[in-house]
Amino acid sequence: MIRRLRTLAQVAAACGDDDLVMWAAQDLSRGRVWACGDAGDAGDAVVAACPGLARRDRMAVWGDAAGAARLVEHALGELGPSFRPLGEADLVAAVASKVAGLVVAGAFSWMSLARAPAGGATGGVGWLPPQAEGEVAALLARHAPQSYAVPGMAGVARWAGVRVGGELASVAAEAWSAPSVGLVAGVATVAAYRGRGLAERVCRWVAGELVARYGRAALMVDDDNAAALRVYGRLGFTRRRIAAAALAA
């Protein structure tokens, strides 16, 4: 039986408070969540879908492959073909094999943190005032043009940074946070200042702020970004290899 979940407490109970699902559920004001399984128990599968989440119409999947495939088919039927299932890599591959037209479209890592980051320097880091967004935009355009988060984009809440000699040298954003998961995004450092640990300093501070506010911090990172993976690992983030799928054109 497929059932709609209408509160975050129901979602948490159904998926075991999985951080990726809880993030994709957001606050339920824009997205939808379905489960299959007995009400009141951990569901056999859960799907949480939200439009325009980190630049995509995203659909987090959790649970057993057969149940997840049923839910993905149901959700795509209700929401349309633009939504992209994402979850544990093996689960997404299994779901794609069961849903007509669905193919694995990419793989990356989801990393999460449920405690204060590992100790280290955070001196000089703080939330930037709104009038600094022009500096942030210029830094990203030159040194991280592929950043998903940019100033002024819907869901991008605020930016933190550190300066060197008055110049904005490294930044990170809080973006697309959910009530129980704060998301770190837009991490970037001026090329001339790389190798000094500035990105680690900014990420440590931002992650600490998000854990304090939301209970958890999370981020997405490409699997071939070895330097970033090392930084986030030192901060205490736990890595999960995930994949995204899409309906073939």
Looking at the domain assignment, is residue 119 inside a domain? no
Q: Domain ends where: 51, 77, 110? A: 110
136, 179: one domain: yes
What pLDDT is attached to residue 240?
98
Q: Are 86 and 159 found together in one domain?
A: no
Q: State the pTM of this model.
A: 0.95
Is 230 inside any structural domain? no
Residue 237 lies in a domain: no
Find the mean pLDDT for residues 227-238: 96
Residue 94 forms part of a structural domain: yes
The residue ranges of DSSP E strands in 123-248, in sequence order, are 126-127, 156-164, 167-175, 182-189, 217-221, 238-247
18 and 78 both lie in a single domain: yes
Q: What's at 177, amino acid-wise?
A: S
The DSSP secondary-structure symbol of 56 reads E
> Domain range for residue 148?
126-215
In a domain, 102, yes or no: yes
Interval 10-52: pLDDT, tens: 999 999 999 999 999 999 999 899 999 765 555 699 999 999 9
Each residue's pLDDT tens digit, 161-201 = 999 999 999 999 999 999 999 999 999 999 999 999 999 99
- Number of domains comprising the chain: 2
10 and 102 share one domain: yes
Question: Do residues 200 and 120 make contact, with C-beta atoms less than 8 angstroms apart?
Answer: yes
pLDDT (tens digit per residue) in 194-208: 999 999 999 999 999
The per-residue pLDDT for 74 is 97
**Same domain flag for 7 and 106:** yes
